[in-house]
Structure 1
Amino acid sequence: MMSDRQPPQDTPIDPGLAHDIRSPMNAVLGLCDLLAKSEPLTDRQREFIKALQTSTGTLMHQINRLLESKGYAPLNDLHEPELPHSPPPDDAKPKVLLVDDYAPNALVVATYLEKFGYDYDVADNGVEAVTLARRNRYIACLMDVQMHDMDGIEATMAIRDFERQERRPHLPIIGVTAHALSGDRERCLDAGMDEYVAKPFNPIELETRLAAFNH
């Protein structure tokens, strides 16, 4: 007699959960990059940072393999970026709008922005990002795609609507995500974003993209 029971189906991983899993890993890797470039460091400190990078990178690789098996696109390979020289101080620094709902990640990106010579405002959700974009002028916006409440897609669409209604200049928006789903890039561009990068990002590449908008 044939059974009516169906084989178990793979349960998809919610994008919000994938974001919450990857965000702490990205923050640790970013902080390790920053610590590795700090001076002075003892040999023991360097060994500790290297061990933390290796163990976190291994765990991140395992997480990525699990997420990719559920349909998520692979992220960029882990790297040890070389930081550019800090530019001379400038009282009139160009300002970037940094949007990220995970404070450690925002801290890492903000540190790089300072090294690149940019001032910045931080928004920890999409609603606050829209408010700041309406109130202030920025050379670019780094927009976390997956956020709770209003996500980066919705925030970008709201900003574009405001620009059209008020005839405001176009704000370049770079989508940043810790979970790369197939079709994500197209979804971000369709919403009005100008660029799209996956975390962990290459600081040199990020600096180059920001510089292209800083006319």
Structure 2
Amino acid sequence: MAQQDLPSGRRYIEALEANGDFTTALQVCERMWDLGFPSGRVDAAWIVKDAGNVGRAIDLMTEALTLLDDEHVPLAEGVIGHWRWHYLNDPAAETQLRRGMHAYGTARADLAHLLIATGRHAEARSILCEGASQKVVECILPLARLLEDDGDRRAAEDLYRHGIELGDGHSAWNLAVLLIEDGRPEEAARWQWTAAEMGDELAIQYLADRDPLG
């Protein structure tokens, strides 16, 4: 496979995945890796992770680090850290989450969760605030919940509205919940529908359960 054929190889892998032919997709990934393309390991890592083998996915993504360009390393580190913390609850993921949080918003949110779990609330809040200021959607909900826990419901409401502006349906649902708790049901109802329209599964299920024709 020539260098210019790399995009074709990745499209072929995507087509194989879409057709459920994961065995052949992994074989193509292996061939790409043998030819010196780190995407062979990156793509394989996502395939096996989606199949439920997180440990193997971490190993494959870690191997990819040896060939990735410097500019792509932080994203891969963030993904590895996310998998280690989210699926394995491994506190040693902190190092990789820190390395990858500027490239991968989920890693930033995970790092905050890890810090909270290990009693470092002030740093967690600082990291989430920085992310929210940079319009990192993944930071909106955890930061808003911290604000609610601290009793600053107005700031939490404003943050949920900011999340909605960024296209996050989960923020719309959480805003609706907050408004109901604050005795504003009519306003909350509008945001429930907005959340459903934006694809929030909780909102969709809630409204479906309430629909007498459902």
Q: TM-score range by the shorter chain?
A: under 0.3
Query: As a proportion of its length, which structure holds more helix?
Result: 2
With the length of structure 1 as denominator, give the TM-score of the two structures. Answer: 0.25
Query: As a proportion of its length, which structure holds more strand?
Result: 1
Larger radius of gyration: 2
Larger RCO, structure (CA 8 Å, separation 6 or more):
1
